[in-house]
Structure 1
Amino acid sequence: MEEFIMIMPRPGLDPELGELLADLPLASRLDPDRLAQLRQLSVTPVEPYLKGRAIERREVAVNAPDGAKIPLSIFTAAESRSVSCVYWIHGGGMIMGDRFSNIDIPLEWLEELGTVVVTVDYRLAPEATRVTPVEDCYQGLRWIVEHADDLGIDPGRIIVAGASAGGGLAAGLTLLARDRGAPFVAGQVLICPMLDHRNITVSSHQYAGDPGVWTREMNEFGWRSLLGAPAGQDVPVYCSPALAEDLSGLPTTYIDVGSAEVFRDEDVAYATGIWAAGGQAELHVWAGGCHGFDALHPRARISATARRTRTDWLARILNPVPGRGFEHSAGAVR
């Protein structure tokens, strides 16, 4: 018997995005077989992004407490004298992708702002579950701070950034660093972050039933892969940051999301929670944007505007007006 799903009224796609997405083979659900196929397709060769650019790359591996090796890639501009660093955490629903997924986003920041970029290959669900991915990211952040002199960066000028699942892991990592008292995080960039395993918001229900870039059903599969089914009552806030009752003491935060996607409402709620706790957050809800729109179609007008706005914010944080010091939240912990 087929499951009946009532399609709710919902914001439509930006017309330009709608035309571009019409050429994509979209689906509504995921299963283990489909995941295996997508994992093969989601491997990202980094070399095309480096061709013709004066960017130096090196590879290291960090030891996790259980002995696993966590790969990190470090990118620097050949002539850069920047002392800032962006720690990039890739997306993929917690279940796919690698450290080069959407690497064009932080590489734009490297070229425009001169920042060092470090990206991490955290372990994926369902092979790795619960806090393992965010703990992997934490070990990478510790490595950056411990090797700040070698990287030529100021450990007080590290920005944590990520998209989709990577945005959720960035938020969880920042909470984890706050609660452990280190390392210091100067700011966080959360791009359409995956923050709430409960999947209960209006926007989650709006984008169910039909094929899409990331649907309610796909979201359920991703969270179930990470947390098991049922997830239970003891889900750590570092896995599902929307559960955090205390959002005080977080660094200045940038959040953006599309109006036409599953994560819209949980992302708006997270920004609201930061403001309620006295923190600083800049929130953009892009009208007609689907999940990951600016990564899928970076040349669309809405995408170019979103990317430019995000880069301008990062420039203000990393390169403040002379004499006014480096901008960060007064509550951020060292």
Structure 2
Amino acid sequence: MEKRLHPELVNMFLELPDVFYTKENLAAKRSEMLEFVASMSAAVPVNNDVQISERHVPGTAENSEVRLKLYEPRVKNQSLPGILYIHGGGYILGSADMMDVALQQMVSELECVIVSVDYRLAPEHPFPAPLEDCYAALKWFSENAEELGSDSSKIAVMGSSAGGGLTAALSLLARDRNGPSIMFQMLLYPMLDDRNITQSSNEITDNRVWNKAKSQLGWEMYLGNENPVSLYAAPARAVDLSGLPPTYACVGDLDPFRDETIHYVSRLTQAGVPTEFHLYPGCFHGSEEYFPFAEISQRIIKEYHAALKSALHK
């Protein structure tokens, strides 16, 4: 792994610990992640230009409400485009609180309103619960955009890792249900294929990063007893990708999701979906979140911010 890393990342990568996820240690790992996120957020100066609030909005019959976090400019001089943000975590980890710093920065840079959805996690809540929470959030955002100073015709959806998989699934679901309009989808190294049949899904085994074993555990917990596997659970299984929103996708070449992302992007293009794609040499899964100040990480972030800004304000 070290021999293939981007030169900027090698020394920092060597300091990463081995991390194992099991059914038995999952609760502890979730707590560790939240504690780490809280400590990182506390170390960053408060962004007084962005207002953060919470809403609990109607969910499905089995989940009466969904928790959302809203990020808005304190001053709005016009109707702003919106982003529905879906966090990552292999379908089994994370929360809407984990990206506070990054989402505040995006609000300031992109002049938008962001709604982050705190969807339920597997294995306690396997598919379709997390996706239905995301759909409920999209529906609420679209119906209440004017109240938020936003525009229901200008809502993008984005996410990384499992959040990217849920973004792809949500775009398919909204299309097939004739649901709320999605103007743009951003798939950051998305978790799309439960079958683990690509070269990259099998070649990344280092426990310091997201790897084959972690993917297998995430899919096992997310899918539960799902058989056959729905295209809305694993979007790589979708046959028809036509009619989906314009797309931006990126992935590192040391990411287990490299090949499934490349394949999905290729199929989007073949289906006539306007698509921009970036493959970053020497980068592993979520490397720009691990080491945000590395030059290559800054480039990754700047390029997807630029794509978002162009899509939102065209």
Instruction: Quote the residue 1:192 is aligned against.
Output: 189
How far apart are residue 268 of structure 1 and its match?
A: 0.6
Which whole-Å CA distance do the structure 2 matches of 1:94 and 1:217 have between them? 14
Instruction: Quote the residue 1:149 is aligned against.
Output: 146
Which whole-Å CA distance do the structure 1 matches of 2:102 and 2:250 have between them? 14
Which whole-Å CA distance do the structure 2 matches of 1:183 and 1:32 have between them? 36
Which whole-Å CA distance do the structure 1 matches of 2:3 and 2:234 have between them? 26
RMSD: 1.8
TM score, norm. by length of structure 2: 0.93
Instruction: Quote the residue 1:266 is aligned against.
Output: 260
What is the CA deviation profile of residues 4-56 of structure 1, one whole-angstrom value per residue up to 9, with x for unaligned ones? xxxxx9981112212112112123x4212332221001214366667143111
- Corresponding pairs, count: 308
Instruction: Quote the residue 2:32 is aligned against.
Output: 41
Instruction: Quote the residue 2:51 is aligned against.
Output: 56
Instruction: Quote the residue 2:300 is aligned against.
Output: 306
Query: For residues 165 and 248 of structure 1, do their structure 2 counterparts lie closer, same or farther at Cα, with a shift above 3 Å needed?
Result: same
Which whole-Å CA distance do the structure 1 matches of 2:136 and 2:301 have between them? 28
The residue correspondences of 1:89-104 to structure 2 (distance < 5 A) are: 89-104=86-101
Query: For residues 191 and 105 of structure 1, do their structure 2 counterparts lie closer, same or farther at Cα, with a shift above 3 Å needed?
Result: farther
How far apart are residue 227 of structure 1 and its match?
A: 1.0
Which whole-Å CA distance do the structure 1 matches of 2:3 and 2:216 have between them? 21
Unaligned runs of 5+ in 2: none
67-76 vs 40-49, greater mean Cα deviation:
40-49
1:211 aligns with 2:202: no
Does the 8 Å contact 1:11/1:260 carry over to 2?
no
Query: For residues 273 and 73 of structure 1, do their structure 2 counterparts lie closer, same or farther at Cα, with a shift above 3 Å needed?
Result: same
**1:15 maps to amino acid:** P
- Looking at secondary structure, tell me which structure has more strand per residue: 2
Instruction: Quote the residue 2:74 is aligned against.
Output: 78
Does the 8 Å contact 1:214/1:291 carry over to 2?
yes
SS at match of 2:187: strand
Query: For residues 133 and 67 of structure 1, do their structure 2 counterparts lie closer, same or farther at Cα, with a shift above 3 Å needed?
Result: closer
SS at match of 1:287: strand
SS at match of 2:152: coil
SS at match of 1:169: helix
Which whole-Å CA distance do the structure 1 matches of 2:79 and 2:215 have between them? 38
**1:280 maps to amino acid:** P
TM score, norm. by length of structure 1: 0.88
How far apart are residue 198 of structure 1 and its match?
A: 0.6
Does the 8 Å contact 1:82/1:114 carry over to 2?
no
Which whole-Å CA distance do the structure 2 matches of 1:235 and 1:212 have between them? 29
Percent identical residues:
37
1:127 aligns with 2:124: yes
Does the 8 Å contact 2:16/2:208 carry over to 1?
no
Unaligned runs of 5+ in 1: 1-8, 321-334
